[in-house]
Amino acid sequence: MKVTGKIRTRCDTCRKNNLNGFAPCQCKTRRKYVAEFRIDGKKFRETVGYSKRNAERRLAEIFSQVHDGTFFKDKKTETGFNEFAEKWLNDYAKPRVKERTYVTYRGYIRNHLTPYFEQAEITSITQEVIEGCLSKLNEKLNPNTVNKILKMLKTMFKYARRWKYREDNPAWDIDCFLEKHREMDYLNPEEIRLLLEHSREPERTIFLTAILTGMRKGEVLALQWGDIDWNSDTIYVRRSLRWRIRRDIGAEDKRWWFDSPKTRNSVRAIIMSPRLKEALEKHRFIQTVEFAQKEKGKKPFNADELVFTNGAGAPVDPDNMIKRSFQPALEAAGLRRIRFHDLRHTFASLLIDQGENIKFIQSQLGHASIQTTIDRYGHLMPLKNYMGVGKRLDEKIFVEQSQEIQEDSKI
């Protein structure tokens, strides 16, 4: 193995403030010495303390252990699950996955895995131990969530093996739990009218947009006026609205940001119906009048040109919209409680019911594969389209045969 290294100093004050702790600074706190080294191109760091001599001695020990083949063995013995999990989050997940996915991974580790593996070392975790953990989680969580945690564990131990923390992947051969089948729910035309009748503006237009475009919640709330082509009656999906939840001293601070849509195929063009176009034009006029009255020389409202905003011109909080508008509207209309995402299923069911081509439906929903569209919505295709299939098969085979016999007899 090829090993190189050097001694560096680090400021913990800068590090706590999310600054580069290795850069020069004016902090009055003492800087710690860190042994930084690379083994076959992989970077490692060990914080030694405030003694440069001890740091140099530790770096020399590392060089010796690497050449003797004992470095990784000692490293495995000393590394706990929590320590490795934090390293995996910072070195693998954070730079490679979307922030929303990273927050989900962090929640799985802190809320479900850390309490179970808190005292365990990374090398002591076996397949049996992992299966015991997952079985307990399956008692209190949805099997779909447990399977997502299992998938994350497989990736974690794959990198534990790649980074030489252990020689195998104990989670690789574990089977998924049987997931509960959830019936797809959607509204029929009469229920759609009831929902809209019992909704107030601007939420009524939000619901109508979701129903007539099949856009996801984040895509609807991130829609900008520049995404609407009024001449070709087309709505372009280019981004999604996300909310970041940051816990700081027990307080929860929500901040929004624009993210790319769920997948590459989610960037798409959707046909805008005449009724939706009329509703959006009316909504735009009302919004323009309201914001003109509120600005009056102050900073401009709705700087991002969002189609849907709250009273302050900021993006609509999805949680507040569902709790304060969507669920009350369903209750007032006497409808069952459904998810906002079921409005997307409603759009798909409407297209299928009127006999639209399945490839067109795929493009409107933004599915990466037509197989996804068929698997998810194939059961909604009306049976009336297949009436008379058997009769047409008989005519194809036997009627043509009888015609051939008649022709032969004439000859």
- Do 30 and 86 have their domain in common? no
Q: What is the pLDDT of residue 250?
A: 41
- Joined together, the tokens standing for residue 41 give 């191109």
Q: What is the pLDDT of residue 262?
A: 84
Q: What is the pLDDT of residue 248?
A: 38
The mean per-residue pLDDT over the stretch 145-170 comes to: 91
- Do 10 and 107 have their domain in common? no
The mean per-residue pLDDT over the stretch 223-233 comes to: 95
Q: Which of 87-96, 220-229, 276-285, 308-317 has the lowest mean pLDDT?
A: 308-317
Before 189, cis peptide (omega within 30)? Answer: no
| Domain end among 43, 69, 95 | 69
Residue 77 has pLDDT above 60, yes or no: no
First and final C-alpha spacing in the chain: 89
Q: What is the pLDDT of residue 274?
A: 95
Residue 172 has pLDDT above 80, yes or no: yes
Q: What is the pLDDT of residue 41?
A: 78
- Do 129 and 211 have their domain in common? no
- Do 239 and 343 have their domain in common? yes
Banded pLDDT at 251 (limits 50, 70, 90)? very low
Share of the chain above pLDDT 70, in %: 87
Residue 33 vs residue 388, higher pLDDT: 33
Residue 402 vs residue 305, higher pLDDT: 305
Environment class of residue 173 by beta-carbon count within 10 Å: exposed (0-12), middle (13-18) or buried (19+)?
Answer: exposed
The mean per-residue pLDDT over the stretch 207-230 comes to: 95
Q: Which domain holds residue 375?
A: 189-380
- Do 397 and 375 have their domain in common? no
CA angle, 201 as apex, 347 and 318 as ends, to 5°?
A: 65
Residue 337 has pLDDT above 70, yes or no: yes
Banded pLDDT at 68 (limits 50, 70, 90)? confident
Banded pLDDT at 410 (limits 50, 70, 90)? low
Tell me whether residue 170 is in a domain.
no
Task: Give me the number of domains the chain comprises.
Answer: 4
Tell me whether residue 346 is in a domain.
yes
Whole-number Å distance between alpha carbons of 31 and 9: 6
Q: What is the pLDDT of residue 44?
A: 82
Predicted TM-score (pTM) of this structure: 0.68
